[in-house]
Chains A and B, each alone.
Chain A
Amino acid sequence: MLNKKDLLGIKELSLEEIILFLDTAAGFKDVIGRDIKKVPALRGKTTVNLFFEPSTRTRTSFELAAKRLSMDVINFSVPTSSVVKGEGLIDTALTVQALGADFIIIRHASSGAPYLLAKHLKASIINAGDGTNEHPTQALLDAFTIREKKGDIKGLEIAIVGDIAHSRVAKSNIYCLTKLGARVRLIGPPTLIPDEVKELGVGVFHNMEEGLKNVDVLMMLRIQMERQGKGFFPSTDEYSRNWGLTSERLALAGDSVIVMHPGPMNRGIEIVSEIADGPNSVILDQVTNGIAVRMAVMYLLSGVKR
């Protein structure tokens, strides 16, 4: 059912393909719950993690997923590689492919970098986050988690809070959840929510109390400190006062609201510890599910003939 060798973005996936990824991930969640958390399915294949931006959690998640499928894993981090010596992106990737990579997991600061690789390489390219474009496996694991906790995603009221403009996690989630039939709304300061998103069929709120009413799923985004100096908001203190998730605000949402966060969290800024560690939080489930989803992605892509 899958006819593309790469996973570059949710934008390119049909609803059927998204559901295939989620259903397959359910099978893999069984595997990682056992004592022997390994299956021989992709034995002998090689995955290379090509991370041009630092990231421990996503990289580790992909690494574990690959290993659980019995693949060999190589980690290629920018500071330790020849990219520092001025080698271009395509040259680096071709070298990696010549070493025998079947999968290249790429995280890069430039939007579109994975698309460039997918065009020129035979290996399967998985986008682990490109610039401010997309982070498709994050959206898939988020959807999987929501489905697990809330059943059918269709019709759910889902709020994404924070720096939408610079968040590839937000974008991938917007595309994924709207395709699955959820009603998505964005909450945050006007400077961090581009006007044009309304054309994607989402609601926009600048007042958090308003925006949280009747919400079934609350997705908090990390606020990046670098944005503070550039006129997007005056201080993290002011941000937190207006858009930080506190227990009072959480009470305004629906009764059985679940709280999500892609990590890493700025405790005390966008989310308080009581909620992060509290009963509504599914943040740790997201981490576990991430491995199952990434296993499903690699398993399904491996079957597609070049």
Chain B
Amino acid sequence: MKIAIKGGHIIDPSQATDWIGDIFIDNGRIKEVRKQSATLRSLGKGGQSGRDDPGFRTIDAKGMFVLPGLIDMHVHLREPGFEYKETICTGTLAAVKGGFTAVCCMPNTFPVNDNASVTEFIKRKASQEGHCMVFPIGAITKSQKGIELAEIGTMRDEGCIAFSDDGQPVMNSLIMRRALEYSKAFNVPVISHCEDTTLSESGVMNEGLLSVTLGLKGIPAESEQIMIFRDIVLAELAGGRLHIAHVSTEGSVNLIRSMKERGSNVTAETCPHYFSITEEAVKGYDTNAKVNPPLRTARDVAAIKEGLRDGTIDVIATDHAPHHRDEKLREFDMAPFGISGLETAVSLSLSLVDEGVLTMSQLVEKMATNPARIMQIEQGTIKTDAEASLVLIDRNKKYTVEAQKFVSKGKNTPFEGCILKGKPVLTICRGKIYE
């Protein structure tokens, strides 16, 4: 299949590309990327054109952005074990619909991905049924219990590209230290879910006046900040490549910023909900707004945006956490944490560009270039001989979020009914077109 993408605004920071041009794809690989010259443009020409050939497709990308296929380094695909919430097939389809051509899936499946055979299962399923690249993240500790290290080396060999106990923190500092030390032998990032569970206890939303007036147990911002500090200090002691997952508070951003200034190699990610909405979304006991870490205050939202702007936060990932409708249709205390985020991420992130927090190029860094670098995968670039994984974005297209129309099995989103601007209109994953 030959594909020509004509006249789009191509942005790829890894290649310093930021101009209008054409891309030619053949057999799943990029054959040529070239600037559209002014004369050619005015002549209405632009390379090979117009042949009505079934093996040849021309896509008019005028007025659109052409970005490398985005990389979501934090998703929960739920398979094996929780297929009623999501499968590798439905999750990866939701990913490409959302503009992502590669995802990294967390190990809190059932069984937990804490050994090579589960990793192998995930990779096999992904190659058979997945719609985009799937890179498994293995567990740090066996069963994610935080007591014994999992077989990090063997899992890495089978295909895990990073390790995390996400869903839980590694509460025991000694184990976290050992994990960081041990990971150095395999040169893999250790992704930390930072939460002091003795402080957050049975909390279900951000601790503050709202949690008091709603009668819901609160999770203080400090429970995240304490663990971020501990993990970064341990990483200074032990070495290793620490990456902080889903940063949500002002204090956390400040901590990471000052530690980076001191020379720490820590990297950090945040999620679209942490720069779009606040704890107010919980009013009326809407379980779609129940997420861990919880939605915070307006001050935290402002700090997250600032952290993205000044580079303290390196990555925007979704923490896509689909749940079955019945599980969320219950008492707030009993509902599971999580937001189904793959299909709204790009729209929400584009508002950062509208607000002047990031340029389009910086947005691509957060959602493709940096994840590729941190996870050490060959994705997220538009250049000759690279896999043809791209996304076309219409920055001006307005639409209303309708969760029932999500491709993901998870319809749990607090953005239901919101009018968003900008969305991915076409994704190409290894040469295959998804519209």
Contact = CB atoms under 8 A, between A and B. Distances in A.
Interface of A: 11, 88-90, 108-113, 115-116, 130-134, 165, 168, 171, 194, 196-197, 199-200
Contacts, number: 59
Chain A interface, DSSP helix/strand/loop, else mixed? mixed
B433 interface: no
29 contacts: A88-B330, A89-B331, A90-B329, A90-B330, A108-B331, A109-B333, A110-B331, A110-B334, A111-B285, A111-B333, A112-B332, A112-B333, A113-B331, A115-B284, A115-B285, A116-B285, A116-B331, A116-B332, A131-B216, A131-B333, A132-B215, A132-B217, A171-B212, A171-B215, A194-B212, A196-B209, A197-B212, A200-B209, A200-B213
A131 B329 CA distance: 18
Contacts of B329: 88, 90, 116
Contacts of A111: 214-216, 285, 332-333
Nearest to A164: B212
B231 to A, nearest CB: 26
Contact of A168 (B209, B215, B332, B334): B215
Contacts of B213: 11, 171, 200
A197 B213 CA distance: 9
Question: Lowest 5 CB-CB distances: which A-B pairs, in order?
Answer: A133-B215, A112-B285, A111-B215, A110-B331, A196-B209
A112 B216 contact: yes
B278 to A, nearest CB: 16
B326 interface: yes
A109 B208 CA distance: 21
Contacts of B285: 111-112, 115-116
B212 A110 contact: no
Contact of A112 (B208, B209, B212, B215): B215
Interface string B211-223: 0111111000000
A110 B209 contact: no
A122 to B, nearest CB: 17
Contacts of A109: 333
Nearest to A134: B215
Given A111-B285, A112-B285, A115-B285, A89 B212 contact: no
A194 B334 CA distance: 24
Interface in B257-290: 284-285
B291 to A, nearest CB: 16
